[in-house]
Amino acid sequence: MPKPILYYDDRSPPVRSCLMLIKMLNIDVELRFVDLFRGEQFDKDYLALNPQHSVPTLVHDQLILTDSHVILIHLAEQFDAEGTLWPKDYLARMKVLNRLFFECSFLFRRDSDLMSEIVRKEYANVDVAHHERKLCEAYGIMEQYLAEQQYMAADQLTLADVSIVTTLSTVNLMFPLSTTTTITTEQRWPRLHRWFATMQQLDAYDVNRIGLEKLRQIVEQMGKFEFPGSRLPNLK
C-alpha cells in the first residue's frame, strides 16, 4: 500500500491531532498544505477530493477520509502495533469513541463558533461572555470525565486525548486554564489542569504548539486584538 497523503493546514485543531498521531506512531506521510485563510479548500481539484471543503483529508491508496476522528482511527488501526490508542476491547473502544464524538459535536463546535466569529466580525463585535459560558461548560464536562480515570477515556493515553488536546489548547488561548479570578480555574477544574499539563509533556505535543502559534497570529491579525494568554514559549 502506498504511503498516506494528508492534506492539511496546521492552524486547524483537527489537523493538529492527526499530525500529533503521525509523529507518535512515526508514520511516513506525504503532507500537502491547503491554506484555509486563502480559500484554497474551495479550489476545484480539492473540492473533487473533499466536497466538504475542510481539512484534514487523508488519501491512503483507494481510501479517502475527510474527518479527523476517522483519520485517527484509521491510522491507529493501521500503524499502532500496541493497540492501546484505539483499544481492542469493545467496551474500552466505545468509551474512546464516545469522547471522540464529544470533541467533534460539542467541544470543537463551540471553539469553532468562537474563532470564526472573531475572524468574521473582529473581536470588538463578539459577545465574548456568551462564548465563555459555553466553553466553560465544556471544561466542566471534561473535568467530570477525568474523575473516572487519569486520561479522557482510560488510565492510559488514547485517541480521545490526542483529539481533545488540540482543541482544548485552542480554547485555552481565549480562556486560559491558568487564569486567576476570585476562584482560580485550577481550583474549579483541577483534573483538567493536570491532564493538560501532562499532555504538554508529550514529545508529539510540539507539533501542536507550532500550529497553535500560527493560529494565534492569524486570528489576532484578522480579529484586531490580542489573546489574553501569555505568548507561547520558543518553538523547537
**Mean pLDDT (10-residue bins), the chain, 236 residues:** 95 98 98 98 98 98 98 98 95 98 98 98 97 97 97 98 98 84 64 96 98 97 87 44
The terminus-to-terminus CA distance of the chain in angstroms comes to 32
The reported pLDDT for the residue numbered 118 is: 98
The distance of Cα 125 from the centroid of its chain, to the nearest Å, equals: 26
Contact 224, 230 (CB under 8 A): no
The reported pLDDT for the residue numbered 229 is: 63
Alpha-helix residue ranges (DSSP H) falling in 26-67? 44-49
Beta-bridge partners for 6: 31, 58
The reported pLDDT for the residue numbered 5 is: 98
The reported pLDDT for the residue numbered 230 is: 46
All three cell numbers of 50 = 473533499
CA distances from 189 to 3, 13, 51, 146, 150 (A): 41, 22, 39, 10, 14
pTM (2 decimals)?
0.94
Contact 126, 225 (CB under 8 A): no
**Distance in angstroms (rounded) separating the CA atoms of residues 157 and 152:** 8
From the list 172, 236, 174, 171, the residue with the least C-alpha distance to 210 is 236
Element (H, E) at 6: strand 5-8
**Distance in angstroms (rounded) separating the CA atoms of residues 191 and 196:** 9
